[in-house]
Structure 1
Amino acid sequence: MEKPICLIENSASGDLHVNQKALEILSEVQQPVIVVAIVGLYRTGKSYLMNKLARKQKGFSLGSTVESHTKGIWMWCVPHPIKQDHTLVLLDTEGLGDVNKGDEKNDCWIFALAVLLSSMFVYNSMGTIDQNALDKLHYVTELTECIKVKSCNSKDEDDSFHFSRFFPAFVWTVRDFILELKLDGHPITENEYLEHALQLRPGYGAKVQKYNFPRQCIRSYFPSRKCFVFERPVSCVEKLRKLEEVSENELETSFVKQAKEFCHYVFETAKTKTLHGGHNVTGTLLGNLAVTYVDAIRSGAVPCLENAVVALAQIENSAAVRQAHEHYMKEMERLVKFPTATIEEFSELHAVCGKEAIQVFMNRSFKDDDRTHQGELMRVINLSYENFRQKNEQESANLCTKVITDVSKTLEERITMGYYSKSGGYRCFIEDQEKMIKDYKASIVKGIKLEDVLNDFLKEKEIIAQTILLADNTLTEKEKQIEAERIKAEATQQEMKVMEKNQEALQQMVVDQERSYQENVQQLMEKMEVDRGKLLEEQKRVLAQKLKEQETLLKSGFDEQADRMEAQIRDLRRDLDQTQSSSWLSDALDALGTVATCFLPGIVGKGIGLATKLFSRLF
């Protein structure tokens, strides 16, 4: 993208809309995305920092007046500067607290959407982190009214203790900072400055609760926290108003250094946006996520993280089935040169294309807990496999028919001319027919249907052969009888060859289906192991952060708050134990075995389903 585009439009009436053109841009981004969103009061220099992250002088509008210049949420997709195959998505939000807007609730939604869509959330403020600054960050205390984690909770039930599992990393940038970073006469880091500002005050009164509440929310919702302070970029007010036009060598050296450190930190530490469980979000998924949340807000509902994941899974898994099937079709058309020389050659190519298609599905799908989408992929690939198999046989039949037509021309002409209607004609006919059969078999390289076509040809010639045999007066009745029995025996033998070939083809089809199913099982097990690893990493991270926060509370004398956190820690440990158990794999294989009986034909599907159910019991 050469310049930003509005992702979520904020109309004058306060209605939010997702910009269709922005969605089209995101739909083309199939890479994982790292999403950095910035929020803050209007006229605090948010857009300048975002332009620096885009490594551009201009882009996001800086504005130069006392009104909020950015409306809604603007998006800029750029290649990530250090992480290959990733796209950096920058989200610049309209300034909060614009007096001309007069809609606090609208500001809350902008704030909440920035949190929900990002993997790193930057809050930008001016001056210092004091009570006034925290009072202006009251939006964080209202997130419980704007976000719900679980769909099954009642309206009044608070599930905000789950926020830390889903929320992005938090960065507080303080602009025009003029204080010395010292505490009790000792130098401190920017992070220590932030943590000191977020310390809770002991006591139970209303003033203490008001003081502590925003601090508790930040500490609980955003366990990963970082602070940057920036000195004023220029001393000249006129240049400050047109900062995007000021060259870097005109800026204060300290500000340039601080801006570079900020950008370096974001590039190095901002993680890929993921859904619960660790599934990477692509540009397409991010667009669908924005639509899901905005639609919920417009309907008057509270955006629910659980519902959003379920809705996205349905969309993405259906798309994964289509993409995987299209890959299978494209590769089969590219690799299979119809007709193949043998059934085995066709089978091996099908196995290669099928394996790749399953991998395509696994890479994109997520939360397919009942395996219906994987079962649907099995069904459509099996149907396409059958169509390709029939096409392969038909192409072979066409080729064999053409060859047998060419090599039997002399025989056909002599039959038409009555050449064999003479004494000794039958022996001539048999010799010519045997030569024709020899030439036919020698000419066929891709002969899957060789015996079928030959059988059909010989059947057509049976009556002619019998007529010639009966008319040949050089043969005795006994010889004619023996010859008739020989013809019948050879016809039976040819029928047996055809049956054997057809049986081989049927057995190969069963083998192919079983092999395809086992490939599904193998890749499912591998995917679930990877997914479990991601979930374990996420759960261990959240647990470690909660334990650290509990330890801090205990050291500070906040025993009651630490005790309340113990229930959350127990829940996290229980979830961790469940993830580490092996029952997840048994359930998945059992579900896959069930869908196999529905999606694969006849006894094949039932046999595979039963075998997989028995196999799943081992886990």
Structure 2
Amino acid sequence: MEEFTVKALFASIHKAEIEESCLESYQPTPLQLVRLDENGHLQLCPEGRDMLKQISGRVAVIGIYGPQRTGKSSLLNLLISDSGNGFDLSHNPSSRTEGIWIWGQPIRTKENYIIFLDCEGTKSLSQTSSSDAKIFGLMTLLTSVLIYNSKGVIDEDSINQLVLATLFAEVIDFTIGYADSKVEIDERISAEAPKFIWVLRDFHLSITDDNGKPLSAKEYMENILTLPTYMGKNAEKNTKIRESILQIFKERDCYTLPVPLDRIKELENLENYELQDMRTKFQTSFDKFKVSLLEGCPNKKFNGSEVSGNQLAIFIQEIISVLNEAERPNLYQVWEHAIRVQYEELLNKAKDKYMENKNIDPAFMPFEDKEILEKLQAAKDLGLEIVTSVPHKDLDLELEMCENFQEFFNEDIKMTLKNNFAASEAYNLSLIESVYRPIIEKVDEGYYNGDFENMETDWIKALRQYEKEAKGPGRFAAISEFSRIHQHDAYAKFFQDILDKFKNELDILRIKDKECQERLRLQKENEARQKIINDYIEDLQENVGVNDDQLEGLLKKIEEEISRKLKERKDGSKQKVNKKGCQCVVS
């Protein structure tokens, strides 16, 4: 009988045929967002990037910049927590906040997340490097509200520092086609520019016009920015800056804040004071400014599309990559690429979400195909939710990513079903061996002794047990191959044993028959001999009177005569057979 093992049967069968859940774990601490490395290249810092990527909703970005040591960080800290604690304050003239920093805990509103950016203080313009220009240009581009913080009145020096706010128009390319006119480009620049707010710190003057009529802070700023001429040693340059400000920042405002504390030494330790500890006049002005700022802060947009924190992080990385190549990045191309990168990241997250929720542990295979399909479909639905979770969709990209995810799903389901089928085969082959091995051994040992009904009963019981315990789609292939090979062999072995037994019994009967025939022949010969003897004795007694001695001699002669006649009879029988044989040949 053919070898019955799982390995052999398994071979014969085959011959026959990683959205991750984002927890809003914000930190009430400043995190560096962008920094300059030793080579002057911009770098997106992991801590700031990760904080932004947590925010899947829309963001409004408030940024502040201005000359060094004008209280930028302290102003942001009051906006964040009504205290001086928050962004690091620097009173050392040789130190500054490098790069761009982000506050690690956004303000959550019904509409958006408000995040705050702090930028390094501006030095004198003669010391501003190209790297600094990129920092300030990027800062302006990223904000939806840009606060320019300066001390005292608006003068030539403070206006000169404003040139940094216009650098993003020099650092970033806003063209769409080669035929773009300057008017079209200027309109795009102003559309992408943030709301501009000028905060005049430690301001103590009454603002009036030439006639002594009170002016608002915004009117005061507008009057200076719109002066037809400007006197001073840098009058021409100053005029160009003012014209750029007016051209770029279409939405503008201005606020004045008085000195927050009375003593100079107290001002040096502003971080130790709460807003409630400051001068009442300052509190009133600051509260008005804060309410107006937070309530009127628009969502950040690129090319008319509102931006999520995650998208902003991707955009920063993409635009920095181009800036570091000493190229002038095109805003719209970078934004389109950033959106693609976002969708690709979502696709990877969707795949991870799918893999995490498959609930198909290979260690517990096999499963029924229906169960696998249901689990994989549920995991697929969770993955697709991530791909389609972008608030402001790019339908073409979403369709592309959904198609990619479907291809990934199809390949995974094919592999999963294949692995499950193999596991099912292995499991069921092992089950077959354990169920049928005792019967196979009984057949090999001749246990059933020709009792077919008994063997068939055991075989059917084993089949019922297998059907009850078999698992997965490979159950039918396993039992089919087993039946094709081993059931046939077992039944053939059973009936061959019966046939062999009958053959043995027939051979024994033939030997016994031959022995009986030989005994019958001998018996007939003895009877014939005895009859001849008896006939001679009777003849002698009747016709010839003999004594015993004579009789003994006669008996010897009779014995010889008997032998002769038996021989003649035997020879006569042979001659008759030969004669018949000859007659057959002649005929």
TM-score normalised by length of structure 2: 0.67
| Aligned 8 A contact 1:42 1:96 in 2 | yes
Residue 280 of structure 1: aligned partner: 307
Query: What secondary structure, in the 3-state scheme, does the structure 1 residue paired with 2:473 have?
Result: coil
* More divergent stretch after superposition (345-354 vs 125-134): 125-134
| Aligned 8 A contact 1:125 1:133 in 2 | yes
Residue 228 of structure 1: aligned partner: 255
Residue 35 of structure 2: aligned partner: 9
Query: What secondary structure, in the 3-state scheme, does the structure 1 residue paired with 2:271 have?
Result: helix
Residue 222 and residue 419 in structure 1: after superposition, are their counterparts in 2 closer, same or farther (change >3 A)? farther
Letter paired with 2:347: V
* Aligned 1:58-77 pairs, distance under 5 A: 58-64=85-91, 67=93, 69-77=95-103
Greater Rg by CA: 2
Residue 319 of structure 1: aligned partner: 345
Residue 412 of structure 1 pairs with residue 440 of structure 2: yes
How far the C-alpha of 1:137 sits from its partner, in A, is 1.9
Residue 333 of structure 1: aligned partner: 359
Residue 533 of structure 2: aligned partner: none
Residue 304 of structure 1 pairs with residue 330 of structure 2: yes
Gaps in structure 2 of 5+ consecutive residues: 1-26, 503-587
| Aligned 8 A contact 2:428 2:475 in 1 | yes
Letter paired with 2:323: I
Q: What CA deviation, in whole Å up to 9, does each residue of 1:3-26 have, x standing for no partner?
A: 43444335799x343264545654
| Aligned 8 A contact 2:150 2:199 in 1 | yes
Residue 604 of structure 1: aligned partner: none
How far the C-alpha of 1:313 sits from its partner, in A, is 3.6
| Aligned 8 A contact 2:34 2:42 in 1 | yes
Gaps in structure 1 of 5+ consecutive residues: 477-619
Residue 71 of structure 2: aligned partner: 45
Root-mean-square deviation (CA), in Å?
Answer: 4.1
Residue 524 of structure 1: aligned partner: none
How far the C-alpha of 1:441 sits from its partner, in A, is 1.9
Residue 442 of structure 1 pairs with residue 458 of structure 2: no
Query: What secondary structure, in the 3-state scheme, does the structure 2 residue paired with 1:162 have?
Result: helix
Query: What secondary structure, in the 3-state scheme, does the structure 2 residue paired with 1:388 have?
Result: helix
Separation (CA, whole Å) in 2 of partners of 1:102 and 1:418: 104
Residue 118 of structure 2: aligned partner: 92
Residue 245 of structure 1: aligned partner: 272
| Aligned 8 A contact 1:248 1:256 in 2 | yes
Separation (CA, whole Å) in 1 of partners of 2:221 and 2:363: 67
How far the C-alpha of 1:329 sits from its partner, in A, is 1.0
- Residue from 342, 360, 369 that aligns with 2:386: 360
How far the C-alpha of 1:325 sits from its partner, in A, is 1.0
Residue 383 of structure 1 pairs with residue 411 of structure 2: yes
- Residue from 281, 293, 309 that aligns with 1:254: 281
Residue 363 and residue 386 in structure 1: after superposition, are their counterparts in 2 closer, same or farther (change >3 A)? same
Q: What CA deviation, in whole Å up to 9, does each residue of 1:22-47 have, x standing for no partner?
A: 45654763544543211112232211
Query: What secondary structure, in the 3-state scheme, does the structure 2 residue paired with 1:408 have?
Result: helix
Separation (CA, whole Å) in 1 of partners of 2:434 and 2:274: 82
Residue 174 of structure 1: aligned partner: 200
Separation (CA, whole Å) in 1 of partners of 2:38 and 2:205: 39
- Residue from 139, 147, 150 that aligns with 1:125: 150
| Aligned 8 A contact 1:43 1:68 in 2 | no
How far the C-alpha of 1:224 sits from its partner, in A, is 4.0
| Aligned 8 A contact 2:169 2:189 in 1 | no
| Aligned 8 A contact 1:316 1:364 in 2 | no
| Aligned 8 A contact 2:84 2:271 in 1 | yes
Letter paired with 1:58: N
Query: What secondary structure, in the 3-state scheme, does the structure 1 residue paired with 2:344 have?
Result: helix
Residue 104 and residue 409 in structure 1: after superposition, are their counterparts in 2 closer, same or farther (change >3 A)? closer
| Aligned 8 A contact 2:30 2:87 in 1 | yes
How far the C-alpha of 1:186 sits from its partner, in A, is 6.7
Q: Give the number of aligned pairs.
A: 465
Letter paired with 2:446: G
| Aligned 8 A contact 1:77 1:87 in 2 | no
Q: Which has the higher contact order (CA 8 A, sep 6+)?
A: 2
| Aligned 8 A contact 1:176 1:232 in 2 | yes
* Aligned 1:391-406 pairs, distance under 5 A: 391-406=419-434
Residue 299 and residue 345 in structure 1: after superposition, are their counterparts in 2 closer, same or farther (change >3 A)? closer
| Aligned 8 A contact 1:117 1:289 in 2 | no
Separation (CA, whole Å) in 1 of partners of 2:323 and 2:41: 8
Query: What secondary structure, in the 3-state scheme, does the structure 2 residue paired with 1:344 have?
Result: helix
How far the C-alpha of 1:458 sits from its partner, in A, is 0.9
Residue 107 and residue 451 in structure 1: after superposition, are their counterparts in 2 closer, same or farther (change >3 A)? closer
Q: What CA deviation, in whole Å up to 9, does each residue of 1:137-190 have, x standing for no partner?
A: 233455432221236548996723112443333322222233446667776655
Separation (CA, whole Å) in 2 of partners of 1:316 and 1:438: 56
How far the C-alpha of 1:322 sits from its partner, in A, is 1.9
Letter paired with 1:243: L
Letter paired with 2:309: T
How far the C-alpha of 1:78 sits from its partner, in A, is 2.5
| Aligned 8 A contact 1:79 1:87 in 2 | no
| Aligned 8 A contact 2:56 2:309 in 1 | yes
How far the C-alpha of 1:331 sits from its partner, in A, is 0.5
Residue 82 of structure 1: aligned partner: 108
Separation (CA, whole Å) in 2 of partners of 1:277 and 1:141: 20
Q: What CA deviation, in whole Å up to 9, does each residue of 1:403-446 have, x standing for no partner?
A: 333333442332232234x4343x433332222222222334x4
Query: What secondary structure, in the 3-state scheme, does the structure 2 residue paired with 1:90 have?
Result: strand
